[in-house]
Structure 1
């Protein structure tokens, strides 16, 4: 097995990596014989407590320490005198060396006391002396601490000099091997791996054995490299007893390197060893499998675990459940949860959190709630992470009410929302148009001590601008700037769009000029917004002026820039010039026209009735592999309908579905209207049914077209039936549908039906004006339905509408023509009383 992992190829790689530092274990380091020529630096002074020569301060201090003991020695009276001694590094080295031989139990506290109380920086020599004392007494925790302090001061690449000191001055000391081993271990734990390898190489020269803890630490640091196999080889060669962690570290390393087959092979080959496959090792491989998207492979490894007599723990199951959730296999994840319980492993908080997040990712918040309910039944309280998953999920599907309810629940449980949750809720509120509530939440966030960032401010500014609250948006913008939060393009464009959409073009231009002239931004998005808005209001001159400005500033235009300009040129009726822009300017800037570019030009040709150029552009798109959109096809269908090529239009509709494009309501409305005009009402309703089959909800305009078609070219009874059916199913209708059928009934002389639908229109809350009443009365009068007109006039008065001059004259003239002089005079008198002037006929009467 070891030969397999030490192939020539891998060994060459390792030699290249470490040849410069000579740390490969197979190569000898500095000769031990050569180092033996250096005389070790040692102290031979032996001091007795009754030494008669107290003139040497070192002798005096050592004698007093041994005589008084450490605690009495550091008493207040003596310490005052000790401060005056001002011992240097060499003197302290002598004291500690003497104490090590005479009274080792005092050497360590004295060493620590000098460092902690006086901030004394001990030499390497003193640190190693104390290290040997601690190693001899098996106080390895303190030994590690002393060496860690020394290495913090020495830093990286200090191993050669420290090893030389150990060789020169401590070669034959008791517990020397333990100090060497701990030094290598501490280097490794401090992530000074090259130094640790150097120490290990020196230990090999001295025939000193490293502990498995040291080897494991190095294995862990080198687990992402091939060098780990050198360490593993040394463990095997030295017959160092392995720990439960050794193989687990190797398998984790292979897993993290995505060498999953190698990891499984190593797992199988170590099955017969004392520390063979473990649950931890399996978990490492399964975790990596799931991260790489191999959830099924991870599931198979669970069976392998059971084969080796190992039982998956909660962490094992959570790994698989998480992998299945990420893959969208929620049913399998739930089955695995049930299997977990069958094997006596109870789901923990993490299990429920993973499942809830899985449902959230799929937008299935009902499933998420069921998981939370199970969690509560088990006695687990939802934490911040769980609430974050739920709130984000509800906000993602637009259920802001539930998101706010959960936020209130969190606060009642004493769980403080974080900035991310507030931002999610703010975003959802702004999208749903509840900007005032979003502002209230924003101030609550600040009151809780959470700082709003650029994203939070940008969301609010954008939301306020969409709700036409531009002044408040600008106020927030300046507040953001005052907090030294630099606004980005999103914030600038939100304010700019808000000003433009509120018909504040002059203010928008001033704001835009402030940004561009001060070079605060060179963002093409801002130019695109202004150019597009100028085009929409018909000011193509200003749009072209801005285009020239961005060219002068060497700001690269985007295809959106050209699309807006081409649309504006087409609106001015200059389609030929617009097409020239397509051929010249776009290609000049290295851009490719998009489907939108071609669709704008095709629509312009369609309005002109130039189907030849329209189809020419369509072929050009296909030649350039630019896929037409459903809007492109809608334009073509509109053109075909204008030429009454209905069969071709329907065929193109079918072609759209064949190409994977979904027609929208506008596409269907275009064809339906054309079939209604051609008096083929049956085909129009077939297309309506086709919309429903494709789960495409007809719009009120669709029904306006169908009702108008039935009224003009079909049966009025069918129009009535359709209206009543739509009302019964609470399908939204516009005022146009009602006025169309009312007009039709007036023309047919069915005043009763006209009044019924007029009443429905009023009851639906649609906006009614005096003109609507006047229109009906006028039609009734023209058909000499005087009594019906009079009844409708009275209904208008009872509804609280004051008649105007025109309507009074229309009905008075109708009364006069019908010989109803008394009604004419009565109405004329009423007009005079209301301040209206009767016309000549009424005055004559």
Structure 2
């Protein structure tokens, strides 16, 4: 059974096992036939003989004994099974202690056999909570449809154990509570074959999980047949199931049947039935049941009233719900926190702003203090409606009335302020919280740090993070992600990498999201080499890459034109038990389209179909672009129409792609028809659409048509982009109409678009090419008047143009103008 003694002849340190008596050694020799100096034998002897072998002190000493751990890790599964089995006969506590030490401390995956031995030992000692937790882990590890093999093992190997019936029952219960109802039913069926009676607790769990199905009738009848006797709780679960299946008449008939047989109605059954009817929206029926309950001599409790109050609030009858609170008080019942939470939520659902303080005043009048849930609900209402001021006022009013908000309420307020971009107020509130004696926690800091990062204030976010760390508040992955993402978005790549290395090295942070952020940043910058090094680093650290990791790497390869490497990484995805998604395929397809390899695009489409990955709008748009670039516009139109057939609706990008290539094909009528169809289908054209139309008319059509479209859009108050202006300006310059170009240029400036040196340079170059140097000079003066300095290119073009027409006087005038503006022209002259 054990390995050869040559492998295991090592002695334990004398300071640990020097006090083992000879009688214990003899007993251990009977337990395991091993040489006397064998390390495993000595370990087992210590467990067998030491009276405190399962004591925390002893386990702690073993936990730090690397020699012991290395030897135990060499044991095979069958060897461990034999040890646990033998211990179970000698000393059950030793067996349990040894098993959980291996499982929890050494993370050794133990066999089903050892697990069931320990389960029976726990059942034998009536340690039911430990047994349930132990079997819960077994069930989670085994997964769905594992009941049959486990039942076979229980049947074949453990029939002689006195505690076997309890293990069977607990296994069925654990399966049911884990949501594996089919497995639980398999265990129960096998128990019936073995004449083992499931407990009422197991039946209750099954009833609860099956309350949406017809099987509840079978389970309920089985409870009666087995003589266990349905309890009030059993009946309430059954009634709840009937209500959830909308079997209203059956539920009422069942309640009447209970009254007839038992002679007295059950409050729990009435409450359950009322709750079911309220859930279905039949509040009137629930009210009738409430009256019937009172007539039958049953006194409603607070839960009964809360059911009706909740039903009325959901139905919109908040005033009637408040009347029920009055009736509740008249019958000597005090509204509890649940009651007030229901009413507050009712006001929130109906948008009754005035009701918020009405509820709070009522609570003050009754001397009741709202708990954090009530305060949070009221504050959440204001936050969800964007009314931060109202939330802050409510907080001040509650404090003035003696209500001190707690940590949860402050978290809601801070989050609300941060989402509204009011970071300064959030920081002030954070300091105020600390002054009130409430210690700020990780959630408060997270909200503010995340808000600062979203606003681009990353350096301030880092300072706040460092301040948090000085207060011994443990950071979490969410904070690190926010800061790292903020640094990357600001373009602070060196600082981002430094922060990333510090976090992942110092804190041993194995967060794949952090790696994904850095990999994606490097990939977008075109630094694929660094992205690949990070990918290799996470593999070395044993971190499993996600599909996001691969998508970022593939995107980086595609951007740098390394399609062979991109394809190789697509194949590597499967090696990590991952499946490429639509983003993966679409990214590579777009890269193939850019190089004109439409055949590779369609091969990838076939691969997507094979792997059951559905293309989306972006995928089809990429295919359309690829076809259009090869002049296959009709094929692109077929793909476009095919999207509707597949239940996909083209978006703006899809329409824009096709419109652009229809203009290139000079099919203006079809392009405008597609634009009209776009609006008809409820998709609003964006500035890119109009840029395409205006540019298409300028380049491939008629400038007059482009100007008419431009004027029409202005009349409709549609804000055009800067590109639309510059496109028309360039077209007029090329046509030689400097005055119209000047007019459009002034309009562009008046509409608030930022005018750069590059914009002036583009116009001046075009005018000079048309020998319109004097008009170009007007743009130079406008440029200097606007506070922009001349660059060398503009000066060179202007002097060269004057020189070409022989206007040397204008050259010297231009030279004087540049000196006046502070520009040095000696090299050019």
Question: When the two structures are superposed, what TM-score results if normalisation uses the length of structure 1?
Answer: 0.59
Q: Deviations over 1:41-78 (max 9, x none)?
A: xxxxxxxxxxxxxxxxxxxxxxxxxxxxxxxxxxxxxx
d(CA) in 1 for partners of 2:363 and 2:437? 36
> Does the CA-based 8 Å contact 2:784-2:821 persist in structure 1?
no
Partner residue of 1:430?
Answer: 453
Partner residue of 2:316?
Answer: 296
Q: Deviations over 1:224-250 (max 9, x none)?
A: 5669989997999699xxxxxx96996
Match of 2:652 among 630, 636, 657: 630
Distance 1:341 1:647, change over 3 A: farther
d(CA) in 2 for partners of 1:476 and 1:222? 60
Question: Is 1:255 aligned with 2:278?
Answer: no
Partner residue of 2:572?
Answer: 549
d(CA) in 2 for partners of 1:786 and 1:336? 81
Question: Is 1:461 aligned with 2:484?
Answer: yes
> Does the CA-based 8 Å contact 1:499-1:508 persist in structure 2?
yes
Shift of 1:638: 0.3
Question: Is 1:652 aligned with 2:674?
Answer: yes
Shift of 1:562: 1.5
Shift of 1:287: 3.2
Q: How does 1:439-450 map to 2 (within 5 A)?
A: 439-450=462-473
d(CA) in 2 for partners of 1:781 and 1:338? 84
Partner residue of 2:684?
Answer: 662
d(CA) in 1 for partners of 2:651 and 2:363? 54
Match of 2:604 among 568, 571, 581: 581
The gaps in structure 1 that reach 5 residues or longer are 1-152, 158-191, 198-217, 240-245, 809-845
Shift of 1:661: 2.3
Partner residue of 1:493?
Answer: 516
Q: How does 1:339-488 map to 2 (within 5 A)?
A: 353-372=376-395, 374-375=397-398, 380=403, 383-470=406-493, 472-477=495-500, 479-481=502-504, 486-488=509-511
> Does the CA-based 8 Å contact 1:770-1:801 persist in structure 2?
no
Q: Deviations over 1:347-384 (max 9, x none)?
A: 97666643331121233434434544555665655543
d(CA) in 1 for partners of 2:362 and 2:545? 63
Partner residue of 1:803?
Answer: 825
Shift of 1:690: 7.3
Shift of 1:309: 8.6
Partner residue of 1:812?
Answer: none
Partner residue of 1:792?
Answer: 814
Match of 1:334 among 354, 359, 366: 354
Match of 1:597 among 615, 619, 622: 619
Partner residue of 1:685?
Answer: 710
Q: How does 1:73-92 map to 2 (within 5 A)?
A: none
Shift of 1:633: 0.7
Structure showing greater Rg: 1
> Does the CA-based 8 Å contact 2:391-2:413 persist in structure 1?
yes
Q: Deviations over 1:211-235 (max 9, x none)?
A: xxxxxxx979996566998999799
Q: Compute the RMSD of aligned alpha carbons.
A: 4.4
Question: Is 1:572 aligned with 2:567?
Answer: no
Q: Deviations over 1:227-286 (max 9, x none)?
A: 9989997999699xxxxxx96996378538947756433322244588755776433333
d(CA) in 2 for partners of 1:792 and 1:376? 72
Partner residue of 1:103?
Answer: none
Question: Is 1:513 aligned with 2:547?
Answer: no
Shift of 1:511: 2.0
Match of 1:707 among 729, 734, 740: 729
Structure with the bigger RCO (C-alpha within 8 Å, sep 6+) is 1
Shift of 1:553: 5.6
Question: Is 1:755 aligned with 2:780?
Answer: yes
What count of residue pairs does the alignment treat as equivalent? 581
Shift of 1:451: 0.9
Partner residue of 2:662?
Answer: 640
Partner residue of 1:561?
Answer: 584
Question: When the two structures are superposed, what TM-score results if normalisation uses the length of structure 2?
Answer: 0.60
d(CA) in 2 for partners of 1:408 and 1:251? 47
d(CA) in 1 for partners of 2:379 and 2:328? 32
> Does the CA-based 8 Å contact 1:675-1:684 persist in structure 2?
no
> Does the CA-based 8 Å contact 2:312-2:320 persist in structure 1?
no
Shift of 1:710: 4.9
Shift of 1:300: 4.2
> Does the CA-based 8 Å contact 1:668-1:691 persist in structure 2?
no
Partner residue of 1:181?
Answer: none
> Does the CA-based 8 Å contact 2:736-2:767 persist in structure 1?
no
> Does the CA-based 8 Å contact 2:411-2:444 persist in structure 1?
yes
Distance 1:533 1:238, change over 3 A: closer
Question: Is 1:523 aligned with 2:546?
Answer: yes
Partner residue of 1:617?
Answer: 639
